[in-house]
Amino acid sequence: MSHPQILPREFQVLAVLVLLAFLAWLIRLVRSQKVTLRDSLLWVLSTVALVVITIFPSLLLRLARALEIQVPSNALFGASILYLAVNLLSATIANSVNAANQRRLVQECALLRGELESLRRDFAGRARTAASGEPSKPPART
């Protein structure tokens, strides 16, 4: 199945080893819960796809022919750039969602601090009126 004219065998072995090492790293990150399974999914699937292409470069050749790319290695570059772009975009999406969530949480935190502050004021006010023997008034609204 291998096409030495596309990818030399030495390169194939090295590339597969590097990709497998990368995959092992990914799996370790998931198992040690530094990356969630959901976020790792795209990386794992696309890396597995790269391993398949490296082992069977004829796929690459067919892709190059189908797209009428003269030099098959350019199909490889194209595929790699797509691989990086897709993974980067998915990371960007996750980042934007996180930023929106963080903003909401920070605001909630500010509102709760405000609520606490106004409760403290009410409480201090009532304690003062109680100490001076006057009937307690309903709390002032902030």
Contacts with other proteins by CB under 8 A lie at: 102-104, 106-107, 109-111, 113-114, 117-118, 141-142
Nearer to other proteins, 121 or 137 (CB): 121
Nearest to 43 by CA among 11, 19, 59: 19
Amino acid at 82: L
User: To the nearest whole angstrom, how small is the minimum distance from the Cβ of residue 88 to other proteins?
Assistant: 20
80 versus 98: smaller Cβ distance to other proteins: 98
Least distance in Å: CB of 92 to other proteins? 16
Quick check: 79 and 54 in contact, CB under 8 A? no
Q: Do the beta carbons of residue 46 and residue 87 sit within 8 Å?
A: yes
Report the C-alpha gap between 142 and 140 in whole angstroms: 6
Min dist. Cβ of residue 87 to other proteins (A): 23
